[in-house]
């Protein structure tokens, strides 16, 4: 498994370099026509689950705007960027003076991506606007994602959104819009993207060179829930095996279960296991939420409350483990014990 490029999964194409997008034709048409009208909003909140193409859409739209700086003369539909065009090459290489991509920075000491977008990163936006104010072109900031803004960074972004510079455009990405500051949401035009359908998923995976054959294809697409990034985790990171092991641990009985728990914990806490650990964390969290929902719908309010409390406890445990760099294997074993205990209580 090769090293990931700032959160880009093995087998994926970085959004800034990705010239293809599948399944979001309506959103593309809306953006193009809204821009062409000359009355486009200065900040667009692109919402939707992780891995469905939000960042790729943002870079495509940025390419469209910078390639056609006069709205009235712009096409009414986004097209695949021309890979040989100067604008496309600058965006793909991160060398565009008119586009700033704000994301979680890398810690210079550890080499790891930090857990949040800091206020220092947001200050880069102020410097960006001052340096490019004389070009006459659009100045575009992609916030990827706003979910990662810490409190100070979110407040700093809000101040810019309240008084946006002329010919500026903010493309604000979010996996969970409900968690953003209401004041940030209120200053953005929302654009919701849906998970990809089966046809678009197959096209997207094929464009990355994946032809999933046989019974695994149905398993992958069912478990991916319309997310290309989830499909890549299932195919390239052993996600299907992790799901099978997780389910076996929850359903297991007898002394052999403990051995299976340690085997799973060893896999998830090994070297370069960040992606699969995050995959497991989401898997466990989604399992608990589903159990709580099913219990509530069936009228078992006691069980629903138990799993709702467990959901908060798991989230807190994972946050503390990350913040204090606690032993990952022990954290996983503790979570599995909690999950098994909740099921049999």
C-alpha to C-alpha distance for 68 and 87, rounded to whole angstroms = 10
Structure tokens at 97: 């003076």
Residue 134 confidence class, pLDDT cut points 50, 70, 90: low
What token pair was written down for 107? 């810690």
Question: What's residue 312's pLDDT?
Answer: 95
The answer, yes or no, to whether residue 167 has pLDDT greater than 90, is yes
Give pLDDT, residue 325. 83
What pLDDT sits at residue 213?
65
Contact 46, 80 (CB under 8 A): no
SS3 141: strand
The token pair that represents 23 in the structure block? 């399944």
Please report the pLDDT score of residue 296 as a whole number: 97
Mean pLDDT of the chain: 92
- Give the span between the Cα atoms of 297 and 234, in whole angstroms: 30
Q: What is the pLDDT of residue 241?
A: 95
Give the other-Cβ count within 10 Å of 12's Cβ: 17
Q: Which position has the higher pLDDT, 99 or 106? A: 99
Q: Residue 27's pLDDT band (boundaries 50, 70, 90)?
A: very high
The pLDDT tens digits of the residues spanning 87-96 come to 999 999 999 9
Neighbour tally for 301: CB within 10 Å: 11
Please give the pLDDT value at position 160. 94
Q: Answer positive or negative: Cα dihedral of 243, 246, 249, 251.
A: negative
What whole-number percentage of the chain has pLDDT above 90? 82
What is the mean pLDDT of the segment spanning 45-57?
97
Is residue 329 within 8 Å of residue 266, measured between CB atoms? yes
Per-residue pLDDT at 6 = 55
CATH of 25-192, one of 3.30.70.20, 3.40.50.300, 3.40.50.280, 3.40.50.261: 3.40.50.300
Greater confidence, 108 or 249? 249
- Count of alpha carbons within 13 angstroms of residue 59, beta-carbon side: 27
Residue 133 has pLDDT above 80, yes or no: no
Distance CA 146, CA 144 (A): 6
Does residue 310 surpass a pLDDT of 80?
A: yes
For residue 93, give every residue at least 6 positions away whose Cβ sits within 8 Å of its Cβ, in sequence order, or none. none
- Give the mean model confidence (pLDDT) for residues 134-162: 93
Domain boundaries, the chain: 25-192, 237-344
Picking from 310, 317, 312, the residue whose alpha carbon sits closest to that of residue 332 is: 317
Q: How far apart are CA 91 and CA 98, in angstroms?
A: 9
What digits encode the pLDDT tens for the residues 185-197?
Answer: 999 999 999 999 9
- Residue 216: what pLDDT? 78
Q: What is the pLDDT of residues 173-182, one digit of tens each?
A: 999 999 999 9
pLDDT tier, 132 (very low <50, low <70, confident <90, very high otherwise) = low
- Give the position of tokens 């990809």: 196
**Model pLDDT, residue 3:** 36
Confidence of residue 4 (pLDDT cuts 50, 70, 90): very low
Token representation of residue 104: 């979680």
CA–CA dist 268, 257 (Å, integer):
17
For residue 1, name the pLDDT band (cuts at 50, 70, 90): very low
Mean pLDDT of 211-233: 87
Q: Which residue has the tokens 């409190």?
A: 151
What is the enclosing helix (H) or strand (E) of 85? none
Asked whether the predicted pLDDT for residue 308 surpasses 70, the reply is yes
What integer is the mean pLDDT of 243-257? 94
pLDDT score of 135? 67
């Amino acid at each position: 498994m090769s090293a990931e490029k700032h959160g880009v999964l093995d087998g994926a194409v970085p959004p800034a370099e990705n010239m293809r997008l599948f399944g979001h034709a309506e959103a593309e048409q809306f953006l193009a026509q809204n821009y062409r009208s000359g009355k486009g909003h200065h900040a667009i909140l692109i919402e939707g689950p992780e891995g469905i193409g939000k960042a790729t859409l943002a870079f495509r739209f940025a390419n469209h705007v910078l390639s056609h700086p006069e709205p009235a003369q712009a096409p009414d539909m986004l097209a695949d960027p021309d890979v040989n065009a100067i604008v496309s090459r600058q965006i793909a290489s991160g060398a565009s003076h008119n586009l700033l991509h704000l994301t979680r920075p890398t810690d210079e000491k550890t080499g790891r991506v930090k857990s949040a977008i800091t206020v220092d990163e947001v200050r880069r936006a102020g410097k960006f606007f001052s340096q490019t104010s004389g070009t006459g072109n659009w100045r575009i900031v992609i916030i990827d994602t706003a979910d990662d803004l810490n409190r100070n960074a979110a407040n700093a972004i809000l101040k810019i959104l309240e008084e946006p510079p002329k010919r500026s455009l903010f493309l604000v990405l979010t996996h969970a819009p409900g968690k953003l500051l209401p004041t940030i949401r209120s200053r953005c035009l929302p654009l919701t993207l849906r998970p990809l359908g089966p046809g678009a998923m197959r096209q997207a995976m094929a464009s990355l060179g994946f032809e999933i054959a046989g019974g695994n294809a149905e398993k992958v697409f069912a478990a991916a829930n319309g997310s290309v990034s989830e499909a890549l985790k299932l195919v390239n990171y052993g996600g299907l095996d992790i799901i099978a092991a997780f389910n076996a641990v929850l359903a297991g009985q007898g002394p052999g279960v403990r051995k299976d728990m340690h085997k799973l914990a060893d896999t998830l806490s090994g070297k370069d296991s960040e992606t699969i650990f995050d995959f497991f964390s989401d898997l466990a969290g989604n399992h608990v939420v589903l159990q709580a929902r099913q219990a509530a719908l069936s009228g078992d309010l006691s069980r629903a409350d138990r799993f709702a409390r467990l959901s908060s406890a798991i989230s807190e445990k994972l946050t503390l483990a990350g913040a204090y760099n606690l032993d990952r294997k022990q954290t996983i074993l503790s979570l599995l014990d909690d999950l098994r205990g909740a099921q049999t209580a």
